């Protein structure tokens, strides 16, 4: 119903469109055989792609590893609601922008700006923009995961990881990120687990078996985390895990 309303409105504003056709919705074939879409179709494609931006930010960047590590860290300390989910998401998002800034800058210089300056077509810009993201994901993806998804997709004979199709790299990258995030989270969990064991042993030796060890160990874990500059270590470790500062 809404579509019919907008079509009728367009016809009332521009009656000649009905007779001559909508030239803005067109596909042009270039001499080399490639196709170029009109600006209207490009805008439609961009608006449709915007619905996939959250999934792309989560699954094709460093966001997944960061949010999982921070969630495990909060659980290790014993804090259920502090920092809140909104704060963890905000920290993860801005740290993701910090880590991905060189990649986004390269995409802007090599694809976005040439496209805006009409030096390349939309298809060429899209193909150029995929390369930095593909290189980043390959650098963080384990060969084992890449081979697993390549075999599932039927690509048994690939000469190099760079030859792997983009749609195969994405699930392999996400799997590797989950594995890496749990490894880093486990390393952060160990010191707090030791504090819990020590406090539980002391309370049991003192005969205070009715007192919950979590109540006593929580202040000590927070104090330990603050004294060692925990947030700085966590953020620095996450950034360096992607190759920054090395």
In this predicted structure, the answer to whether residue 71 has a pLDDT above a threshold of 50 is yes
Please tell me the distance from the alpha carbon of residue 162 to that of residue 136, in angstroms, as a whole number: 11
Q: For position 45, what pLDDT does the model report?
A: 62
**What is the per-residue pLDDT across 121-170, written as a single tens digit (0 to 9) for each?**
777 888 888 888 888 998 889 988 888 888 888 877 777 777 788 888 88
Least confident of 76-85, 193-202, 209-218: 209-218
pLDDT over threshold 60, residue 171 = yes
Domain ranges of the chain: 61-242
Q: What confidence tens digit (pLDDT) does each residue in 76-107 have? A: 888 878 888 899 999 999 999 999 899 988 88
Give the whole-number percent of the chain exceeding pLDDT 90: 14
Confidence at residue 196, expressed as pLDDT on a 0 to 100 scale: 85
Q: What pLDDT, on a 0 to 100 scale, did the predictor assign at position 6?
A: 38
CA dihedral (36, 39, 45, 50) in degrees, to 10, reads 130
- Structure confidence at residue 177 (pLDDT): 92
**Structure token digits, residue 130:** 């995929």
């Amino acid at each position: 119903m809404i579509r019919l309303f907008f079509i009728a409105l367009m016809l009332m504003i521009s009656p000649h469109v009905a007779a001559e056709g909508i030239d803005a919705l067109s596909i042009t074939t270039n001499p080399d055989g490639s196709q170029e879409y009109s600006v209207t179709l490009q805008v439609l494609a961009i608006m449709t792609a915007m619905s996939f931006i959250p999934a792309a930010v989560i699954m094709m960047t460093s966001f997944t590893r960061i949010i999982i590590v921070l969630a495990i860290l909060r659980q290790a300390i014993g804090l259920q609601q502090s920092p809140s989910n909104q704060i963890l998401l905000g920290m993860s998002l801005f740290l993701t922008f910090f880590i991905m800034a060189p990649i986004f800058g390269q995409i802007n210089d090599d694809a976005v700006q040439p496209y805006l300056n009409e030096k390349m077509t939309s298809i060429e810009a899209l193909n150029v923009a995929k390369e930095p993201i593909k290189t980043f994901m390959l650098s963080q993806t384990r060969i084992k995961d890449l081979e697993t998804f390549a075999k599932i997709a039927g690509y048994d004979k690939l000469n190099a990881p760079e030859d792997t199709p983009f749609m195969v790299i994405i699930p392999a990258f996400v799997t590797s990120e989950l594995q890496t995030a749990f490894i880093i989270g486990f390393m952060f969990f160990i010191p707090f687990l030791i504090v819990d064991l020590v406090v539980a042993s002391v309370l049991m030796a003192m005969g205070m078996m009715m007192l919950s060890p979590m109540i006593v160990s929580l202040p000590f874990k927070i104090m330990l985390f603050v004294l060692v500059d925990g947030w700085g270590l966590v953020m620095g470790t996450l950034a360096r895990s992607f190759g920054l500062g090395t």
